[in-house]
Copies of this chain bind each other. A is one copy, B any other.
Amino acid sequence: MKEILIIDDDIHIGNVLEELLTKEGYHTTRAYSGTEALLLLSSLKPDLVLLDLMLPGLNGEEVLPKMKGIPVIVLSAKIDIDNKVDLLLQGACDYITKPFNTKELLARIAVQLRQSSNSSQISILRFDDLILNQNIHKVLIGDHEIKLTRTEYAILKLLLQNPTQVITKSTLLDRISEDTPDCTESSLKIHMSNLRKKLREANNKEYIESVWGIGFKLI
């Protein structure tokens, strides 16, 4: 889920933004001053920043240069063109004047996130000491590589994407159908067995539990 940092000292506008973005499926964090934003920045690694200009402490113009590598959309009531231009040249990715239209704001956020996601994201799934690296398409336990077939990999990936949740056999079949179109319940059973065997051989440990009559889950 994409993380958006909202930097605005106006509680009301912040609330509106937070609700809007949450509804849209983003995760949000609030900062009420420039200094607070900078503190948050190191721990939280937001995918995008919404920056109000009029801030207590450090103002927006001073905060902007610190946001290297993260797309920043400036929100402000200021409508001075020169000011707008300066901000854009200093590193802001976009500029929206208040009051803003919510649809447009969401669209501009989507544009920025689209652009930043183009530049190679790493996707690694973990569970306990099990690591699945989707970029290089490898599974590791500790530093031991586990060689999986396409179907086994797809099954494990799905389980790792929903850790501790029970995945029903039918959703499993559904979701791996792209990789293995004519896998049935009876063949799934075999894949499961083979997958467990490989994991067991690597670590002498059980990772996958069966839920009787329903499906499987990680333990």
Contacts and interface: CB of A to CB of B under 8 A. Distances in A.
A119 B115 contact: yes
Contacts of A212: 149-150
Nearest to A134: B166
A5 interface: no
B101 A81 contact: yes
Interface stretch (A49-57, A84-92, A188-196, A198-206): A84-92
Interface in A143-192: 149-150, 162, 164-166, 179
Interface residues of A, number: 36
A106 B166 CA distance: 33
A107 B119 contact: no
B166 A214 contact: no
A84 to B, nearest CB: 6
Nearest to A153: B214
Contact of A150 (B92, B94, B214): B214
Interface string A97-112: 0000101101110110
A137 interface: yes
A213 interface: yes
Nearest to A179: B213
Given A110-B88, A136-B165, A81 B103 contact: yes
Contacts of A42: none
A123 to B, nearest CB: 11
Contact of A107 (B85, B106, B135, B150): B85
A116 to B, nearest CB: 8
A118 interface: yes
Given A88-B111, A135-B165, 15 more contacts: A81-B104, A84-B104, A85-B107, A88-B104, A92-B111, A94-B94, A118-B119, A119-B119, A136-B166, A136-B217, A137-B211, A137-B214, A137-B217, A149-B213, A150-B212
Those 4 A-B pairs whose CB atoms lie nearest each other, nearest first: A150-B213, A88-B107, A137-B166, A85-B107
27 contacts: A81-B101, A81-B103, A81-B104, A82-B103, A84-B104, A85-B103, A85-B106, A88-B104, A88-B107, A89-B107, A89-B110, A92-B111, A93-B115, A115-B115, A115-B119, A118-B119, A119-B120, A120-B162, A135-B166, A136-B165, A136-B166, A137-B166, A137-B211, A137-B214, A137-B217, A150-B212, A179-B213
